[in-house]
Structure 1
Amino acid sequence: MLILKRMFSITSRKTASKKPQLDQVSDIMIPGQYLRYFKPKKTKSLQQQQQQQLNQSRHLDLYTETARPLHGHEWDATPTITQERMAQRIQRALSTVYSMEVLPTPLITQEHLTLRGIKVSRNLKKCFIFYEPTSTIKKQRGQVHRALINYSPILNTLIKNHAQLRKPLSIKFVSDTQSKELEAIYDKLEQETGQQ
């Protein structure tokens, strides 16, 4: 027991000697080469703190948007060559899926829907396939939409297999409403120019 007490007292002295206290050594002269161990901590003034906060806020406000943002306006921009090539590749894969594969329901075949277009994002990670049901009856259109939602994972795997994509790509089937409106506008314009 005595041996343990002596050992603890020796170790406590060693640790105390390693961490010198400034208030204990204020009246002792310290050699110049050891003064760096006894420097007091610098306190920042209010002006320095405010200036540092200002600089940090400036840096935070500079770059708020990524180099290639993936927002809605990206789809409006003209596609690059790689985007067009990827869209063509997916178009070919879709045509081979429709010609070769046996699909689980006829509602997702080209008899019941027309493909309007394919758009690929700039980073080539997202793909939107725009479609429109061929029938004008609301009930049948709803059935086509539901069938595409239910069987989109199967279609995605078939498209990826036939396109032989190296990198993963998320494919979404999006119902197209804008192209129909545009076609109606073009038809009206043609009629007006034909009458004049």
Structure 2
Amino acid sequence: MSNSIIKPRKQPKLPRYPPENQQILDDMMIPGPALRFFKAKKAKKRPESCSLASSISIEKLYTTPARLVNFNEFDSTPNIPQQRLAERLQRAISTMYSIETMPSRWVTPGYVMIRGVKVSRNLRKCRVMYEPSTTVKKERGYVHRALQGHTHLLSSMIRNHAQLKRPLSIKFVPDTQAKELEDVFEQIESSLTKEELAMITP
């Protein structure tokens, strides 16, 4: 047995010029400095680990959403700046109703009940949750249309009384969740007897 080390076979070298370029060189006289444009280019190979990592990162980038599809920033738990701005806007609305002259009677406190104020995470959007206080279907429609038609004027009055330094988009949104909860409580209350109600109420 021989102790000689087996040397790995050398890979065959690529031709210096591709066949189509070699034919041009054989037919024409090319200056020496220009020969570099006819040389064959080596294909660069990336390590398998790098290609695998890049494919994984790209897959995560395009398949994992930053937020849920049904994400709503107004439904999330508000932080301290959101709460402070919401309270400030709530006071501004109260001041507006007590000082300003409303453009329509359908946007006055007699027909509109302000349920609350919600502010977005970036403090640039605001939703004023309201509910028409009247039970007449026709009058409720008047309230909705009046608030939508006078949104710009009401928003400017709220911003002036809140003395905001940054721009804020204000929208009036009907509070359907509170109405649904009230309807559920009314159904429960109507289904209970007087004795059961006496046991529940203090």
After TM superposition, the score normalised by the length of structure 1 is 0.69
Q: What's 1:107 paired with?
A: 106
Structure 1 residue 126, shift from structure 2 partner: 1.3
Once the two structures are superposed, residues 26-81 of structure 1 have per-residue CA deviations (whole angstroms, 9 ceiling, x without a partner) of 8xxxxxxxxxxxxx643246997975872563352476316x99932x33332212
* Compared CA separation, residues 52 and 84, structure 1 to 2 (3 A): closer
Does 1:22 pair with 2:36?
yes
Mapped partners of 1:166, 1:189: distance in 2: 47
1:1-196 matches, within 5 Å, as 20-22=34-36, 41-44=41-44, 54-55=55-56, 57-61=58-62, 64-65=65-66, 71-72=71-72, 74-189=73-188, 192=192, 193-194=196-197
Mapped partners of 1:147, 1:23: distance in 2: 75
Secondary structure in 2 aligned to 1:116? strand
What root-mean-square deviation, in Å, do the aligned CA atoms of Structure 1 and Structure 2 show? 3.4
Mapped partners of 1:80, 1:46: distance in 2: 47
Q: Which amino acid aligns with 1:22?
A: R
Mapped partners of 2:121, 2:37: distance in 1: 64
Q: Which amino acid aligns with 2:161?
A: H
Once the two structures are superposed, residues 133-179 of structure 1 have per-residue CA deviations (whole angstroms, 9 ceiling, x without a partner) of 11111111111111111100001111111111111111110011210
Q: What's 1:7 paired with?
A: none
Mapped partners of 1:42, 1:165: distance in 2: 63
May I ask how many residue pairs the two structures share in their alignment?
164
* Compared CA separation, residues 51 and 100, structure 1 to 2 (3 A): same
Mapped partners of 1:59, 1:41: distance in 2: 34
* Compared CA separation, residues 88 and 69, structure 1 to 2 (3 A): farther
Structure 1 residue 185, shift from structure 2 partner: 2.6
Q: Which amino acid aligns with 1:20?
A: A
Q: Which amino acid aligns with 1:166?
A: K
More helix by share: 1
Structure 1: gaps spanning 5 or more residues? 1-16, 27-39
Q: Is the 8 A contact 1:70 1:121 kept in 2?
A: no
Q: Which amino acid aligns with 1:65?
A: A
**Overall identity of the aligned pairs, in %:** 42
Mapped partners of 1:91, 1:23: distance in 2: 74
Structure 1 residue 180, shift from structure 2 partner: 1.6
Structure 2: gaps spanning 5 or more residues? 1-30
Q: Which amino acid aligns with 1:71?
A: F
* Compared CA separation, residues 70 and 189, structure 1 to 2 (3 A): closer
Mapped partners of 1:128, 1:93: distance in 2: 14
